[in-house]
Amino acid sequence: MITRSTAAGYAARARHRRPPPRGKRDIALNKRSLFLFCGPFAALFVAMYVAPIVYAAVSSLYVVKRSGLGLAPPTRTFEPFSNFAHAFGDKDFVAALERVALFAVVQVPLMLLLALGLALLIDARSARGKGFFRLAAFMPYAIPGVSAALIWSFMYSPDSSPLNGLLEPAGISIPFFDDDVVLWSVANIVTWSWTGYNMIVIYAALQAIPREVLEAAKMDGASALRIAWSIKVPAVRSALVLTAVFSIIGSAQLFNEPAVLQPISSGAVSSAFTPIMSAQAAVTAGNYPYAAAQSVVLAAVVGLLSFVFFKLTRRGEPR
């Protein structure tokens, strides 16, 4: 409150003064201040973001060759397409890409539907309890990915799963680590972690809908469901697009959850379960250029998908 009023005070004082000449509204900044304000960020950004990308792109163009007996040191030769051809011919890597694509196609819509539903439910509720439900849904976001995976690995544990313990009287036992199931066990951890975060983003967009619009619809006799479908959902469209893009990017990063489950999965989570795990395996094997090529392929695929998704969803938007 204090900060708001301070700012308002300054704004009020500014109004009393002579207005700046027209056409010179843009503030010119002297070089020293600009360097001070943007310089440190720009320098670290170049070092920690631009340099690694350039480094990966360049090293993916080389091939490491070892002599048959491994006596001579490995040599690097420039063969720009070799690693990429290898990647697309690598069954494990392609399978990892397909697995993550399937994951994204199923998990992202499910999670966003859940987040949207929760946001609508909390929005529909009268003031009491709102804060509690919102906080409860958001709590998993405060649990770091690795810790969440550890906690769920205890939930899934083949010999002592408390979930299966609860289901036992009903004669049900979920095989969390079966080959066909394990991907969805991972999906559940990701959904648990991120639904609340997405819900908060969507909920914030719901709050921005003018109350008069909702009142008018109610006066016209629209039901709560009708209002939700015809007014609220279209109004949060851009929030949904935003959360979808970040979720797609998140799917491409899939690493922590399967990596934590791997030791207890008795083989269901392979060492190349996701593209990042596959690249990681290449590093462990000492084949850095191949790991770099896999990263470049993944970055290109994700960048392309995000871009296409943006274009598709922005089409037909009035602006």
Considering only residues 84 to 143 of the shown chain, the ones binding other proteins according to CB under 8 A are 114, 117-118, 121-122, 124-126, 129, 132-133, 135-143
| 3-class DSSP state of 76 | strand
Q: Closest CB to other proteins among 41 and 68?
A: 41
Report the relative pairing of strands 62-65 and 75-78 from DSSP bridges.
Answer: antiparallel
Considering only residues 176 to 195 of the shown chain, the ones binding other proteins according to CB under 8 A are 192, 195
Site size toward other proteins, by CB under 8 A: 113
CB of 173 to other proteins, least distance (A): 15
Q: Which long-range contacts (CB under 8 A, 24 or more apart) does 311-319 make?
A: 313/237, 313/241, 313/244, 314/241, 317/237
Q: Closest CB to other proteins among 34 and 312?
A: 34
CB of 282 to other proteins, least distance (A): 9
The answer to whether 286 contacts other proteins (rule: CB under 8 A) is no
The answer to whether 82 contacts other proteins (rule: CB under 8 A) is no
Look at the block and give the residue holding tokens 């708001």.
4
CB of 209 to other proteins, least distance (A): 10
Side-chain-facing half-sphere of 303: CA atoms under 13 Å: 6
Side-chain-facing half-sphere of 241: CA atoms under 13 Å: 16
The answer to whether 205 contacts other proteins (rule: CB under 8 A) is yes
The answer to whether 11 contacts other proteins (rule: CB under 8 A) is yes
Considering only residues 231 to 260 of the shown chain, the ones binding other proteins according to CB under 8 A are 238-239, 242, 245, 249-250, 252-253, 255-256, 259-260
Task: State which of residues 21, 23, 48, 171 lies at the interface with other proteins (CB under 8 A).
Answer: 48
Q: Closest CB to other proteins among 68 and 295?
A: 295
The answer to whether 53 contacts other proteins (rule: CB under 8 A) is yes
The answer to whether 3 contacts other proteins (rule: CB under 8 A) is yes
8 Å CB contact between 277 and 259: yes
Task: State which of residues 70, 221, 263, 318 lies at the interface with other proteins (CB under 8 A).
Answer: 263
List C-alpha distances in Å: 298 to 62, 94, 98, 260. 18, 11, 12, 22
Considering only residues 141 to 160 of the shown chain, the ones binding other proteins according to CB under 8 A are 141-148, 150-155, 157, 159-160
Look at the block and give the residue holding tokens 């009268």.
126
CB of 251 to other proteins, least distance (A): 9
Single-letter amino acid code for the residue at 70: G
CB of 184 to other proteins, least distance (A): 15
Q: How buried is residue 282: exposed, middle or buried, by Cβ count under 10 Å (0-12/13-18/19+)? A: buried
Task: State which of residues 22, 23, 41, 266 lies at the interface with other proteins (CB under 8 A).
Answer: 41
Q: Closest CB to other proteins among 25 and 315?
A: 25
The answer to whether 298 contacts other proteins (rule: CB under 8 A) is yes
DSSP track, 215-273: HHHHHTT--HHHHIIIIIHHHTHHHHHHHHHHHHHHHHT--HHHHHHGGGTTTSS-TTS
CB of 301 to other proteins, least distance (A): 10
Give CA–CA dist 110/191, Å, rounded. Answer: 8
- CA dihedral sign of residues 118, 121, 124, 130: negative
CB of 164 to other proteins, least distance (A): 10
